[in-house]
Amino acid sequence: MQNLFYEVDSLDKRCYSEFHLSEDILMEHAANGMALYIKEHYAELDSILIVCGAGNNGADGITLARLLHKSFTIKLYLHKEPSSEIGKAQLQRALALGIKPVSEISDSDIIVDALFGSGLNREMDQKSSSLLEQLNIFNGIKIACDMPSGLNKEGHLFEHAFMADVTLTMGALKRALYSDKAKDSVGCIHQLDLGLAREIYETPNNWKLLEQSDLKPPFRKKQNTNKGSFGHLSIIHGEKEGAGIIAGLSASSYGAGLVTLVGEKINALNYALMQDEILPTNTTAIACGMGLGKSFQRERLSKLLCHNIPMVLDADLFYHSIFYDLLHKDVIITPHPKEFVHILKTLNLADISVAQLQDNRFKYAELFTHKFPQVTLILKGANTIISSENKFFVNPLGSSALAKGGSGDILAGLCGALLAQGYSCLDSAIQASLAQTLSAKSIKKNSYALLPQDIIEGLAWL
């Protein structure tokens, strides 16, 4: 996993004060990193349009033009003249080489957005918006310098934003690049060093980006075992039996030794699952909420959920009064945005809309986790956020193929399977989220055709 930072200005300043690297040196390294990336990946192309704003993001673009001069046909477009001393100096250097800024933009093989980067904090003016609209229409490969213009530090995407194929971000990974809103605007993200090792540039941080290499499936290394060695997950099911069955099958496919559906009898239950009307005495984890409906009154649920064993809570349970009595326990909760908004409002933490949540997912995940640090939150989305005890993780591996009924039930089942096998809540949440998203990515189907059964079957090959 990698560090994620809300801002990197403080890291740059540390370079100036501790390592005696000037702003000019950092800018040269940033631009050189972009130049090397472009030469390595697009050497066969000819023309490059670099669109620059007035700030340091624009100065990065001007520096890039100088470094690529003679390697490509350079079209340097200054949306505004440089406002900083370093920007003016970089323009002077470019002009001295004979690079002449163009007065109009035109389509090119490569289009570099160096308008605003992370410096945008308000809606842009009409001229800038029109410029970005035109750039997005062009056919060339689109590269964002540091961050696509139109995306701010909070991860909010303004109405007009650059739609990059590649984002070359400087120094360290910015958290904003992994907001749900940013998912379709950043393209492939590549981090560039600024003249010193990443381990030196970065400082300890409590936000992390999950990667495929972080997946650790529950392989069985010990041979002298039996089904009881791998736990017993009890799934409390309700009106919508299918949700419980999906959760149960995913749990059984991810290592749980035993899985029992607790509730009314299901006549056509899959042979891999058991069922009971009461909680089995050897239960090691509970999953509740998927398809629960209104089948259970508070008294019955209280008896089922009063045990001091790990739980994963989902879906309908969030609208049941007993849910709020469980937040002091060792639990994982897996809300989607609408459910999380309801939770925040009921807890008097925030009264916001789903749209407001999606604009500030990081903020509200932090708000909840600081209030309930013992709860492990999985805030589902295009880039799922997982948090507990002031530790935060983003899983960027999700795809639109998972936007289908049953996906949440699979996630709950995976969490339950790992809890039953003795994983901590946080490790269960991280590993379950990775397993689900990576299984979905491995399925060789069109994105619209993925079924819950496909994901469950894909778990066998992670």
Same domain, 362 and 305: yes
pTM (predicted TM-score): 0.93
Q: Of 205, 224, 256, which closes a domain?
A: 205
Q: Which residue has the higher pLDDT, 316 or 119?
A: 316
Residue 268 pLDDT exceeds 90 = no
Same domain, 276 and 184: no
Rounded CA gap, 174 and 177, in Å?
6
Domain span at residue 433 reads 213-461
* Coil, strand or helix at 395: strand
Same domain, 318 and 198: no
Nearest to 186 by CA among 202, 171, 201, 175: 175
Same domain, 198 and 223: no
Same domain, 124 and 222: no
Same domain, 194 and 265: no
- pLDDT of 275 reads 93
Same domain, 162 and 269: no
Mean pLDDT of 136-144: 97
Same domain, 108 and 14: yes
Task: List, as one string, the DSSP characters of 185-211.
Answer: TS-EEEEE--SS-HHHH----SEEE--
Residue 119 pLDDT exceeds 70 = no
Same domain, 339 and 268: yes
Q: Write the pLDDT tens digit of every residue in 71-91.
A: 999 999 999 999 899 999 999
Same domain, 167 and 146: yes
Please provide the average confidence, as pLDDT, over all residues in the chain.
Answer: 94
Q: Write the pLDDT tens digit of every residue in 173-223.
A: 999 999 999 999 999 999 999 999 999 999 999 999 999 999 999 999 889
- What CATH number is given to the structural domain containing 63? 3.40.50.10260
Same domain, 166 and 251: no
Query: Strand (E) positions, 349-447?
Result: 376-379, 384-388, 391-395
Q: Of 186, 205, 224, which closes a domain?
A: 205
Residue 59 pLDDT exceeds 70 = yes
Confidence of residue 424 (pLDDT cuts 50, 70, 90): very high
Q: Of 177, 205, 233, which closes a domain?
A: 205
Tally of domains within the chain: 2
Same domain, 185 and 273: no
